[in-house]
Amino acid sequence: MVRALLILCGIGLGTVIAWFTAQALQLKSGQDELRHYAARVLENGEGIARESRAAFNSIATDNLPFCSDQELTFMRLIVFYSPNIRDLGRSKDGKLYCTTGRGRLKDPLPAPRPDAQDETVAFYARTRLAVAPDASGMVIATSEVSIAMNPQAYEDRYDAPPMIYTILFYVRDRRQSYYALGHREPLTNAEVMAQRMIQIGGSFYQPLCSNAYRICIVAAEPRAAVLARREGQFAVRLAIGALLGGLIPLTLMLYFSRQRSLARQLHRAIRRGELSVAYQPVVDLKTRAVVGAEALARWVDGSDESIPADRFIAAAERSGFIYEITRCVLSRVAEEVGDLLRRDHFRVTVNITMQDLSNPGFFDHLRSCVESAGIEPRALGLELTERSTADRDAATEAISRLKALGHKVYIDDFGTGYSSLAYLHELAADAIKIDRTFTATVGTQAVTASVVPQILDMASQLDLEVVVEGIESEQQVEYFSKTSRQILGQGWLFGEAVPAAEFKAQFHAAFIEPVAIQS
């Protein structure tokens, strides 16, 4: 019932989120299309303006007699080869004297008042045409030349409902725009000049102005049309959102169910004695003698799959039975390598947590393992991660009690928490293990490489033993071997963690009398 309710809630939440997301994506997609439409219309307008400028320049430099037959022929050729020019006229002193359509006028026509003009060009949005007095059209004129444009120059190609446009004549010096043709839009001059998309009265407007010509355009589309045009996309996105909304809680439930299942399987494996221990050698970096090992828990489940230690250790900590793993490891160490631990200067370390130290049976079991193996307590070291010592009072008390029993205490993964000198001194641990992330910086230009000498100096001041984790190259060995004090190391260069029998065989085959570990 709870699972079904969570899935339904997820579907509902996913649908709501998907609705808003899909609508936002639809609007953005529509706005992008409107911008592209505006750019196409402006590009067409610039092409028409370019054609007009070329005509102005050609006539101004034709060096033919004013309104002569030769000049009229020349202008008619321009009209013939121009896709958007319908008539050309010549003017003087504010009057039109001839056009390509009517030839030389018997009575020159005075120029009407322009709709807009700047210092060089006048613009007429709807003026009577000399070639057809009963018709009106768009005319662009200088003091000498008038050009009547094709009124379908835009409509035939770019009027594409629901997207519509407006053409504006732009006076650059005054930053003013004037309506030329198309649909009149409710934008102010400032909004046109800003050239930013704006929503007014349920419609989107995208103004654009040319940098090279006196032309601006405004493309527009109703918001409802943007959404309606993409109803299919909206439905798909809504369905995907609802599906994901249902899958998220289902995935989370499966994940936590799997975690609980993992914890249950682990608990059974511990009780059946299915956990094993592997030993990774710890060596003296100067002599290469094996002086100890770190004991690491290993678990291969019923399907012969090796479960990563960080995964099952974390599951045990969350479920509150990490002590059972620690207890198992301590017992296996005493049983499997007790003979090595009875050697002088050989030590095996075991990872423990603050949960272990707070368990009433931990110290009794630790004492029992030492006695059953017939070893000195100092031969069995205990590792606490630096992060687990955050509770200073509890950590200090636990370390003090372990040391009173004769065990050596290591601060594992040192450097990841940046313990201060004073804090380390207060903890009174015996050794630190430098985290592998710092070891990897040796020989590189990484900023963290500069931290390593500081850690070594800190350890020297507090007379702490140092174990370097993650040794993988001779360069790293050489770096840490240069110090005058004994430094231990572990890593793939010296061997991976292996079962007890294999570890013992390797130890005896390459036996070198170890130098005493700091005691």
Bond prior to 162 in cis (omega within 30° of 0) = yes
pLDDT in the model for residue 27? 76
Residues of the chain with pLDDT under 50: 2, 6-7, 156, 234, 246, 250, 252-253, 255-259
Q: Rounded CA gap, 457 and 140, in Å?
A: 85
| Average pLDDT score over the chain | 82
Sheet of 116-117: strand order equals 103-110, 95-99, 85-92, 145-149, 132-141, 122-129, 116-117
Stretch (H or E) spanning 341: helix 338-341
231-286 pLDDT, tens digit per residue, is 555 455 555 555 555 455 545 445 444 445 777 888 888 888 888 999 999 999 99
pLDDT of residue 511: 64
For 99-135, what is the HEC assignment? ECCCEEEEEEEECCCCCEECCCCEEEEEEEECCEEEE
> In the chain, count of helices (H) and strands (E)?
17, 22
- Find all residues with CB under 8 Å of 177, minimum gap 6, and list them: 168, 169, 170, 171, 189, 192, 193, 209, 216
Question: What is the residue extent of each domain of the chain?
Answer: 63-225, 274-509
- DSSP code string of 68-108: -HHHHHHHHHHHHH-SSEEEEEEEETTEEEEETTTEEEEEE
Strand locations in 301-425, DSSP E?
A: 306-307, 347-351, 380-385, 409-414
- Superfamily, domain 274-509: EAL domain (3.20.20.450)
Using CA atoms, how far residue 281 sits from 290, 491, 501, in Å, is 6, 8, 13
pLDDT in tens, 115-147: 888 778 888 877 777 666 667 778 889 989 999
Give the per-residue pLDDT at 424.
Answer: 77
Q: What is the pLDDT of residues 286-303, one digit of tens each?
A: 999 999 999 999 988 767
CA neighbor of 15 nearest in space, from 362, 247, 298, 278: 247
- Give pLDDT, residue 156: 47
